[in-house]
């Protein structure tokens, strides 16, 4: 086999991407070597099992993916605003909308949220790490290699092009030969291991490792949202795993689960995909709800209104999320009765969601709002998300959905919920907890610029798309030079540019704040408004998190701790702390599985078998691993805490 057989050739844009990737890669290698950072990288990051560092790596990867998915988006918007330019051909357009959708959901939204959970949840419940720190590192590296695999597809082998939903029979071997679709299957499969493991890990952490006295109904609302999300992950992801495996067996080993021939059932793919897919959209929205609740309570300086109701509505949403999947394929023609059942269950979800909206409004009511940047994102979320929710209910009416389905109306709906919900929450959460992670805040002025650019850009981009949908413009179409559609498409592209600018300002702000922001001196970064335990730790957070874990028997325990002058460092109660050792195994293990997946993608079976055997060896290695971690001495803890607290 020759190298040109697997490299994608003949596309100027892709050549450009190759060159810039190669240059970027070289630059990174050079910087690491020049500043002698290889050891540091391995010792401090690649082998880390510290939940805070893993969280930071998740968030960095997610930001990188937001960039990659964003570039895809801008290319689509250019094509749609100037259809006569011939910027993209149909094949390239198909590949781009496929990678855009997959990356944004699987490799951007989920890891961003999981990254925030990684850092914040143990701090909120008074834990010193995850229940299974080794497994946590494993999760991250499985996600990382899955992401890497998916992302190289466009230069090696060709990208998948059957949509992020990968519907059969289009995505089967007969109609999509070649490695493209395999990249989708293996990339998702590999990173799915990590998601599932994180679900279990966080669930156990939250159920078993809370501070003494903390009952479930004393937990901060973000932790609650994480717990509920973990349940959805644990029950929904196996469905995806099985569906992906079946399709892989179809494509690589010639089975007939989803084919048109050989008694396959192509619609079964859609059925299984959405049994996972609908819960998946709640996996990315519930943590967002949790973040907004924290931010709103903090800057309204009040206890969250209706805490119990908030929790219960999340639980109800989680249950219902498993009962509505058919609304994604009403037009499959399952008949009026089936569609009616799922129409009703779909609309029911709007009830608990509406309850939450009213609770946020009630929290804000008559409060002294402090308009910080995270609060701006949260306040913007409420009306924007309502537009997405209301149009969701419209889509949920099966009869009407025969009109809306697969039009830009649908596109506008899910961008209103995913961007105004999930992406706004990621920004809000990152800015909110940034001082906890990096020891300084993000610059306020630049933060506002990023917010307003992104906010206006978002509405200008997606609001017109509702009307494009009503005018009949279908999704996933690359030639759109119909006179009635053109003006709205141009407006939409202008909005997209606004969002891109907002993102650029945001990233610049990371650099700017690193250089110029004041360093935090207390742990309670937002003018002493912190309500939950994460603000009780010092900044930067010591690697063992809590010198002493406080007794908690209420919601917002830190409010009272401050009144009573208590801290997470009660000097005479300090005991040695048991911590897990760093290890390179998760990295190596997942690199081997990544190699195996790469082999399967190109159907190079020797490579696949080699990687798999390597994986088994790593598992055996782990099974007989007797490293029980180490203890941090009392003297070291006292010294660290006194320095951090200026005692």
Partner 1 sequence: MAESKKRVPMNHVIGFILSLVMTLVAAWAAIQSDLPVTWVIIGIMILALLQAGVQLFMFMHVTEASSGNGHVPWNMMFHGFALAGILVAGSLFVMSFGHDHGDHGDMGDMEQQEEQHSEDHSGH
Name the residues that contact ligand HEM, by CB under 6 A.
Answer: 165, 281, 284-285, 327-328, 346, 349-350, 353, 389, 392-393, 395-396, 401, 404-405, 410, 413-414, 417-418, 421-422
Plot region of 522 (φ>0 → left; ψ -120 to 50 → alpha; else → beta): beta
Nearest to partner 1 of 487, 576 (CB atom): 576
Cis peptide bond prior to 2, omega within 30° of 0: no
Cβ atoms 424, 354 nearer than 8 A: no
Nearest to Cu ion of 210, 278 (CB atom): 278
Nearest to ligand HEM of 247, 281 (CB atom): 281
Can you tell me which of 148, 316, 323, 559 binds partner 1, judged by CB under 8 A?
323
- How many residues make contact with Cu ion (CB under 5 A)? 1
To the nearest whole angstrom, how small is the minimum distance from the Cβ of residue 266 to ligand HEM?
17
- Residue 264, interface with partner 1 (CB under 8 A)? yes
To the nearest whole angstrom, how small is the minimum distance from the Cβ of residue 307 to ligand HEM?
21
- Residue 544, interface with partner 1 (CB under 8 A)? no
Nearest to partner 1 of 604, 630 (CB atom): 630
DSSP 630: E
Nearest to partner 1 of 252, 338 (CB atom): 338
Nearest to 123 by CA among 233, 226, 228, 230: 226
Binding to partner 1, residues 131-190 (CB under 8 A):
167, 169
Nearest to 282 by CA among 237, 219, 331: 237
Nearest to partner 1 of 330, 385 (CB atom): 330
Nearest to Cu ion of 349, 425 (CB atom): 349
- Residue 578, interface with partner 1 (CB under 8 A)? yes
To the nearest whole angstrom, how small is the minimum distance from the Cβ of residue 326 to partner 1?
6
Q: Which does 389 bind (CB under 5 to 8 A by kind): partner 1, ligand HEM, Cu ion, none?
A: ligand HEM
Q: Which does 267 bind (CB under 5 to 8 A by kind): partner 1, ligand HEM, Cu ion, none?
A: partner 1
- Calpha distance 270→182 (Å, rounded): 18
Q: Which does 404 bind (CB under 5 to 8 A by kind): partner 1, ligand HEM, Cu ion, none?
A: ligand HEM
- Residue 482, interface with partner 1 (CB under 8 A)? no
- Calpha distance 360→383 (Å, rounded): 11
To the nearest whole angstrom, how small is the minimum distance from the Cβ of residue 102 to Cu ion?
17
Q: Token digits for 612?
A: 């798999």
- Calpha distance 361→339 (Å, rounded): 34
- Residue 371, interface with partner 1 (CB under 8 A)? no
To the nearest whole angstrom, how small is the minimum distance from the Cβ of residue 296 to partner 1?
31
Nearest to partner 1 of 179, 192 (CB atom): 192
Nearest to Cu ion of 287, 429 (CB atom): 287
- Calpha distance 129→135 (Å, rounded): 12
- Residue 393, interface with partner 1 (CB under 8 A)? no
List all residues 6 or more positions away from 502 whose beta carbon is below 8 Å from its beta carbon: 449, 450, 451, 452, 453, 454, 455, 457
- Calpha distance 250→236 (Å, rounded): 22
Q: Which does 284 bind (CB under 5 to 8 A by kind): ligand HEM, partner 1, Cu ion, none?
A: ligand HEM
Binding to partner 1, residues 216-235 (CB under 8 A):
231, 235
Helices 424-438 and 51-81 cross at an angle (nearest 10°) of 140
Cβ atoms 197, 135 nearer than 8 A: yes
- Cα–Cα distances in angstroms (integers) from residue 132 to residues 49, 81, 195, 205, 340, in the given order: 9, 49, 14, 8, 44
Q: Which long-range contacts (CB under 8 A, 24 or more apart) does 164-168 make?
A: 164/98, 164/100, 164/101, 164/102, 164/105, 165/101, 165/270, 165/273, 165/277, 166/247, 166/269, 166/273, 167/266, 167/269, 167/270, 167/273, 168/247, 168/250, 168/258, 168/259, 168/264, 168/266, 168/269, 168/270
Nearest to 372 by CA among 456, 433, 422, 417: 433
298-306, 332-340, 352-360, 443-451 -> range binding partner 1 (CB under 8 A): 332-340
To the nearest whole angstrom, how small is the minimum distance from the Cβ of residue 613 to partner 1?
14
In three-state secondary structure terms, 629 is: coil
- Cα–Cα distances in angstroms (integers) from residue 198 to residues 98, 119, 248, 496, 583, in the given order: 26, 13, 24, 33, 18
Can you tell me which of 210, 278, 302, 356 binds Cu ion, judged by CB under 5 A?
278
| Interacting residues with Cu ion (CB under 5 A) | 278
| Interacting residues with partner 1 (CB under 8 A) | 167, 169, 207-208, 231, 235, 239, 260, 263-268, 270-272, 275, 322-323, 325-326, 329, 331-338, 402, 405-406, 474, 578, 623-624, 626-628, 630-631
């Amino acid at each position: 086999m020759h190298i040109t057989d697997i490299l994608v050739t003949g596309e100027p844009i892709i050549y450009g991407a190759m060159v810039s990737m190669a240059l970027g890669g070289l630059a990174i290698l050079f910087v690491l070597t020049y500043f002698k950072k290889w050891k540091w990288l391995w010792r401090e990051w690649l082998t880390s099992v510290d939940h805070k560092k893993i969280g930071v790596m998740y968030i960095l990867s997610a930001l990188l993916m937001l960039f990659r998915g964003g570039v895809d988006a801008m290319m689509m918007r250019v094509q749609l605003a100037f259809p006569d330019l011939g910027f993209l051909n149909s094949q390239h357009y198909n590949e781009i909308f496929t990678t855009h959708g997959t990356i944004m959901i699987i490799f951007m939204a989920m890891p961003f949220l999981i990254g925030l959970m990684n850092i914040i949840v143990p701090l909120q419940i008074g834990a010193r790490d995850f229940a299974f720190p080794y497994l946590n590192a494993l999760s991250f590296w499985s996600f990382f290699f899955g992401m890497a695999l998916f992302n190289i597809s466009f230069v090696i082998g060709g990208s998948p092009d059957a949509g992020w939903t990968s519907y059969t029979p289009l995505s089967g071997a007969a109609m999509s030969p070649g490695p493209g679709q395999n990249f989708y299957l293996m990339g998702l499969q590999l990173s799915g291991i990590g998601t599932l493991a994180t679900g279990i890990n966080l669930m156990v952490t939250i159920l078993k490792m809370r501070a003494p006295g903390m009952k479930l109904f004393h937990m901060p609302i973000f932790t609650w949202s994480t717990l509920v999300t973990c349940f959805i992950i644990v029950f929904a992801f196996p469905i995806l795993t099985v569906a992906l495996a079946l399709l892989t067996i179809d494509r690589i080993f010639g089975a007939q689960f989803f084919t048109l021939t050989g008694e396959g059932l192509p619609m079964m793919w859609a059925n299984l995909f959405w049994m996972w897919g609908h819960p998946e959209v709640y996996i990315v929205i519930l943590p967002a709800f949790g973040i907004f609740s924290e931010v709103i309570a903090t800057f309204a300086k009040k206890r969250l209104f209706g805490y119990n109701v908030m929790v219960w509505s999340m639980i109800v949403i989680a249950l219902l999320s498993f009962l509505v999947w058919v609304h994604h394929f009403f037009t499959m023609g399952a008949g009026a009765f089936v569609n009616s059942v799922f129409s009703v269950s779909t609309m029911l979800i709007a009830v608990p969601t509406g309850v939450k909206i009213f609770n946020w409004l009630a929290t804000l009511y008559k409060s002294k709002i402090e308009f910080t940047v995270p609060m701006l994102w949260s306040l913007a979320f409420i009306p924007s998300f309502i537009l997405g929710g209301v149009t969701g209910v419209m889509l949920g009416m099966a009869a009407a959905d025969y009109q809306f389905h697969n039009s830009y109306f649908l596109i506008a709906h899910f961008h209103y919920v995913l961007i105004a919900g999930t992406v706004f929450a990621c920004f809000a959460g990152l800015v909110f907890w940034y001082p906890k992670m990096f020891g300084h805040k993000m610059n306020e002025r630049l933060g506002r610029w990023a917010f307003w650019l992104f906010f206006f850009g978002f509405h200008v981009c997606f609001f017109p798309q509702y009307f494009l949908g009503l005018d009949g413009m279908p999704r996933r179409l690359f030639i759109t030079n119909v006179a009635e559609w053109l003006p709205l498409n141009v407006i939409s592209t202008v909005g997209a540019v606004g969002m891109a600018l907002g993102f650029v300002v945001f990233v610049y702000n990371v650099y700017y704040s690193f250089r110029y922001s004041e360093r935090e001196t207390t742990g309670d970064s937002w003018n002493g408004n912190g309500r939950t335990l994460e603000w009780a730790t010092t900044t930067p957070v010591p690697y063992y998190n809590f010198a002493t874990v406080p007794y908690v028997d209420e919601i917002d325990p830190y409010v009272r701790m401050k009144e009573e002058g208590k801290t997470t460092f009660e000097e005479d109660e300090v005991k040695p702390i048991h911590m897990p050792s760093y290890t390179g195994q998760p990295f190596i293990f997942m690199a081997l599985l990544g190699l195996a997946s790469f082999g399967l993608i190109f159907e190079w079976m020797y490579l696949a078998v080699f990687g798999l055997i390597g994986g088994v060896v790593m598992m055996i290695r782990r099974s007989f691993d007797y490293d029980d971690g180490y203890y941090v001495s009392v003297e070291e803890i006292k010294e660290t805490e006194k320095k951090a607290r200026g005692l």
